[in-house]
Copies of this chain bind each other. A is one copy, B any other.
Amino acid sequence: MPPTDIPNLKPAHRVEDTFLVLDVELRTLDTGESFTILRLGNSTGEIATEPFWPARQDEVAGVRKGHPVRVVGEVGIYRQKKQLRISSVRVLPRDALDLTALLPTVGPVDRYWDTIDGWRRSVVKPRLLGVLDLFFDDEEFRHRFELCPASVRGHHAQLGGLLKHTTEVAAIARAISRTSGADHDVVLAGVLLHDIGKLEAYSWDGAFDYTIAGSLLGHVVLGSLMFDQRLRLEAKSPCTEEEKCLLQHMILSHHGRLEFGSPVQPMTLEAEVLHWADNASAKSASVADAIRDDESFLEGPVSRPQWTLDRRRVYRQVCDWGLVADD
């Protein structure tokens, strides 16, 4: 049975399904009274429950962020927003479930793997290919890489988001490599490796979050450490020390500027290309997300200031440029 299609729920719909608890919000009125609201999600979206007042607090006493829960209820409307009115909520054992079915996802990932693996196989520099295969021929690595989100909350914050983002960066980087004369193989290697630190910086077993290492060291340096550790496992390094240094440099410099968290700035053409491709993928995704969000446009075609875009506003256009649309 497919998961409840949250975005298309209608008032008075009856709901009986499994959800992930994305957040447990405790709120206190100015009057001193307090209540609890759960944010529930699955792969299709998310929805809030009605408030649990003190009289019903024991119904949600053991519910925590990241728990899978079995819920029975009905869709209500408060003002313009849908709410779940709950008649029963029960925490499920985590082991019995595939939690990933309850998180937002980019959908099937084969198409991304096909693209990336295809480009990888086209690499003609033997030692470079050797390095990449250490990671991308490793099933364990691939498994984690295809689940990891590209951010905790922001662009591509979905299961598979990292893989999708990496594919996008690779596609954009190919175009920039071509116009600027950068080395395609080296750029591709940098693209594939630049965000591997997110595998250790983020957690996705339950709601997306930062790991302790993610908070204390950051994904940029974690990627650099993971790269170093993996190559040291080999009896014989697949590449020279200087070549290794160049790839490390690409991982470390991909945020482009010190104030954005890169400890060094790009010094090679390939690192520069990677930086702009990464930026173009991440920032255009953020703008696309902002324009898609109906709640920002309640007052007209100019949105409210967007926190994800440094308080920029975006504009929703509806011009057809004379095109007679069919659909």
Closest-CB distance, A247 to chain B (whole angstroms)? 10
A8 in contact (CB, < 8 A): no
Contacts of A50 in B (CB 8 A): 32
Contacts of A319 in B (CB 8 A): 240, 242-243, 246
A232 to B172, CA, bound (A): 37
- Smallest Cβ-Cβ distance to A219: which chain B residue: B263
Q: A176, B180: Cβ atoms under 8 Å? A: no
Q: B267, A126: Cβ atoms under 8 Å? A: no
Residue A302 contacts which of B124, B215, B301, B312 (CB distance < 8 angstroms)? B215
- Give the total of A residues in contact with B, Cβ under 8 Å: 97
Q: A221, B263: Cβ atoms under 8 Å? A: yes
How many copies of the chain does the oligomer comprise?
A: 6
Contacts of A146 in B (CB 8 A): none
A235 to B215, CA, bound (A): 27
Closest-CB distance, A187 to chain B (whole angstroms)? 10
Q: B221, A252: Cβ atoms under 8 Å? A: yes
A284 in contact (CB, < 8 A): yes
- Smallest Cβ-Cβ distance to A123: which chain B residue: B321
Contacts of A32 in B (CB 8 A): 50-51, 78, 83
Residue A287 contacts which of B229, B269, B317 (CB distance < 8 angstroms)? B269
Q: B-contacting residues of A (Cβ < 8 Å)? A: 26-35, 50-51, 78-81, 83, 124-128, 130, 167-168, 171-172, 174-176, 178-182, 185-186, 210, 212-213, 215-218, 220-221, 224-225, 228-229, 232, 239-240, 242-243, 245-246, 248-249, 252, 258-269, 272-273, 276-277, 279-281, 283-285, 287-288, 291, 301-302, 312-315, 317, 319-323
The 3 nearest A-B residue pairs measured at CB: A125-B321, A180-B284, A168-B179
